[in-house]
């Protein structure tokens, strides 16, 4: 099983619907992140959490919210999805020790019609 698991892997929804992307990890890392990838734009940070009681906005948080339910779980919500939120979403974790490289989930491809 993957160390960082995202569900769903693919989702097609309609404008105005509420969507939740879930992420769970078995790496025991304290830090978790949500990134969004668009073609030609690289990965952009949406939200991040350094521990269960710590939630921070990233570069592009408008239209998104998150919940850190436990150390191992970090979910991303789109309260009212819009077409320009169509993208590939990645959850990632990192350890506060060592170099802190990110460990990514397999991605969730979201299409908003």
Partner 1 sequence: AQKITQTQPGMFVQEKEAVTLDCTYDTSDQSYGLFWYKQPSSGEMIFLIYQGSYDEQNATEGRYSLNFQKARKSANLVISASQLGDSAMYFCAMREGLYGGSQGNLIFGKGTKLSVKP
Residues that bind partner 1 (CB under 8 A): 31, 33, 35, 40-45, 48, 58, 88, 90, 92, 94-104, 106-107, 109
Q: Residue 57 and residue 2: Cα distance in Å, rounded?
A: 26
Q: Of 38 and 79, which has the nearer Cβ to partner 1?
A: 38
* Minimum distance of partner 1 from residue 45's CB (angstroms): 6
Nearer to partner 1 by Cβ, of 78 and 92: the residue is 92
Neighbours of 36 (CB within 10 A): 21
Evaluate whether 67 touches 77 at the Cβ level (below 8 Å).
yes
Distance of closest approach, residue 58 Cβ to partner 1, in angstroms: 7
Residue 13: other Cβ atoms inside 10 A? 16
* Minimum CB–partner distance for residue 97 and partner 1 (Å): 5
Give the nearest distance from C-beta 89 to partner 1 in angstroms: 11
Inter-CA distances, 96 with 29, 40, 93, Å: 8, 30, 10
Round to whole Å and give the CA distance between 99 and 41.
25
Q: Which is nearer to partner 1, 31 or 68 (CB)?
A: 31
Closer by beta carbon to partner 1, 73 or else 109: 109
């Amino acid at each position: 099983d993957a160390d960082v698991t995202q569900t769903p892997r693919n989702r097609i929804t309609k404008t105005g619907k509420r969507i939740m992307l879930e992420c769970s990890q078995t790496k025991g890392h304290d830090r978790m992140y949500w990134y969004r990838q668009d073609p030609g734009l690289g990965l952009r940070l949406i939200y991040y959490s350094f521990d269960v009681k710590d939630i921070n906005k990233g570069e592009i948080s408008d239209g998104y919210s998150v919940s850190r339910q436990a150390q191992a779980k970090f979910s991303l919500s789109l309260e009212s999805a819009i077409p320009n939120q169509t993208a590939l979403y990645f959850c990632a974790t990192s350890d506060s020790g060592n170099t802190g490289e990110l460990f990514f989930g397999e991605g969730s491809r979201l299409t908003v019609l």
